[in-house]
Structure 1
Amino acid sequence: MSSIKHSAATLLYVLPSIGLAFGAIELFDFDPKLAALGGLIACLLGAEAHAAISRSIERKQVRQELQELTSLAAGLSRDLDDAADKIVEMEERFERETAERMERIFSEIRVIESLVKRLAETRAASTVAVATEAPAIEASAPAPAYTTPESDVPPPAPERGIEQMDDAELLDAIRRSLETNRVDLYLQPVVSLPQRKVLYYEGLSRLRTDKGELIMPRDYMRVAEPAGMMPAVDNILLFRCIQVVRKLAQRNSKAGVFCNISAFSLLDSDFFPQFIEYMQHNKDLAQHLIFEFSQMTVNGAGPVEQASFEALAALGFRFSMDQVTSLKLDPKVLHDRNFRFVKVSAETLLDGRQMASGDIEAGDLKELLRRNGIQLIADKVEAEREVVDILDLNVELGQGFLFGEPRPVRESALREDAPALSIAAD
């Protein structure tokens, strides 16, 4: 009780006690001492009653506060239990994610080790070949007895560009580009028709020489494939595509990237098993990463290539077939192999509106593919007039310079802490 309430309650029994003493003297002619004693006794009884009532009120308040404290303690206990459960869950998730990340890192390291070994082997093989082909120096030839004056030394030959390089020089330039990680990733959009909204990207690789000159696929594939270096190119392109896919998935859960794989990689007994192991740790990207193979690779697939297709399909990855030169397709077989896209150039589509016997007419191709769960993409579209003719064939996806040229992905955008994907402008 507050002090004001205590004072008021005190007055309720002190004043009546004083009044009782005076009344007894005046009205009943009591002895003043006896009247004062009676007033004092009445005051003490009032004080005792006041104390009893105050203690009762305080006990009620204490019980109420104890109940509130008990309820609060129970709530805190529940919160502590929930916090402990969350901490355990976070620890388990952290351990699981750490283990998965370490597995991905170890698989990347194993693949990179394989690539380094391959590059070293190809370099050693080329060195041996050069040494074998070099003319032997006759032991009897005497050493020159003088040095050529500096003024008589011919100037060094000017560095030659990609067009002037022979196959050996080009192969050495490709090897140096791979060893020094001068492999750039370019993205070209795949758009919806007729809206031209970007739905997918195709990842394209470009190699750079020491001077920064680009080596295009048409140049490096010609010499890299026979030298067994395409798995290295495919693997670096794959790493870059996975980095890009993770960035795209943060902004668009439906975004996808087409990533090319050569037939040489499918047949490589060293590269492909490690490639499959690496993809096992990245199969969460199956809805975003689409592996692309040429029609020649698909049609010429033997038991080894087919087993490679099946291993990737078992992980949930979808396929796309490009470089289609013949419309003799079996959509059902392609679907069974997990092919979900077919890219046909605009020229082949428009020339195929009246095909020879055995080929699918271009006008029927889109619907036939659709019935088998495959989407048709018109590739290499470069003119507006081609778009009009393609739309007459009910094609809903397009790719080509008309919709967007391949643009390099900035290196900074591939870092894990990069906020957004950045594509360099021309």
Structure 2
Amino acid sequence: MKKVVLAYSGGLDTSYCVKYLSEEMGFEVYTALANTGGFTPGELAAIEEKAYALGARRHVTLDVTAEYYDKCIKYMIFGNVLRNKTYPISVSSERTFQALAIVRYAKEIGADALAHGSTGAGNDQVRFDLCFSVFAPGMEIITPTRDLKLSREEEIAYLRSKGVERDWSKMAYSINKGLWGTSVGGCETLSSHLYLPEEAYPSAAWKAGEETLTLSFERGELCAVNGERYTSKIEAIRQVEALAGGWAIGRDTHVGDTIVGIKGRVGFEAAAPLIIIKAHELLEKHTLTKWQAYWKEQLANWYGMFLHEAMYGEPVMRNIESFLQDSQRYVSGTVQVRMRPYSFELLGIESEHDLMNASFARYGEETSAWTAEDVKGFTRILSMPLRIYNAVNKEEI
């Protein structure tokens, strides 16, 4: 029998794919879940049990959380990457690393084909297809849910006809959780004016008052939380999430252009990503020069766009990563954050590389770096192009 590796989540679409691929297409189905930090051990065990109950030949969990941090999250922090200045590119950045893990596993077992359960309406179909076709060009890509244009009702009816009985009732909200945030979709996000209610979000606001959080960075990477050092950057991120989640911080709605050309809207909560990015950005304001900050912002914007649009494999991404990495040489220090229900405030930073610490000049105060005559001459030279233009054209403003 030919082998197919199915990117499996345990939901309705991929459950349908297991049965269809094995019983209608005659494949030996190997299910694989690529975990990017969003599943508990109990959830992973339940998903594995479902896969075998559906008839999977073998099921594996591929933990790619460390790879996801080292090859992606780290650079999104360096670049302060927020899609449309809002969204920390949570789920969309995960998909590439999930797809790459699926490809590696398929090659390892000598699979003949790859499969995923994405529909024809969203971005994920492109992300999986592109990665599969580039990095496993000899393997067939099979997408039953998309190709057969199936409704939920048709999938459920098929599974029941095969003796698969579960509670297939659609949850009111679709939740996709990972290390770098959680997306939330519902009927409200299909509109332009409705907003997600409190119960849509997986985290509840149970803390009251205020709480101060101290984040420490070394060369742009989070290394300590409230003075406690972490050898694992992943655990440091999880600690920030644990402390901030009770404040229900990091909720917002992202509106943007999808890969397939339509506008999309999705809710999300990402307490740790937003606090870490904004704290890191503040530290950079103190430690980078004007032109370092300017060019890093331009490149990071492209980096985030390429990540979102499945172009992680484009070689220019490695070039941008080199720049981002090099820019972090002096981005070290601590940042104070005040947390409140639904919001946070950046208080200030301490760093031996703080460029405000220069002894010869202080903004708005006395300076020993120049004289009054120096400023007069500087201003006269700076104004020269404007004075020439106005002398020639005699425009009034």
The interval holding the TM-score normalised by the smaller chain is under 0.3
Structure with greater Cα Rg: 1
> Which structure has the higher relative contact order (CA within 8 Å, separation 6+)?
2
Q: Which one has the bigger strand percentage?
A: 2
TM-score (norm 2): 0.23
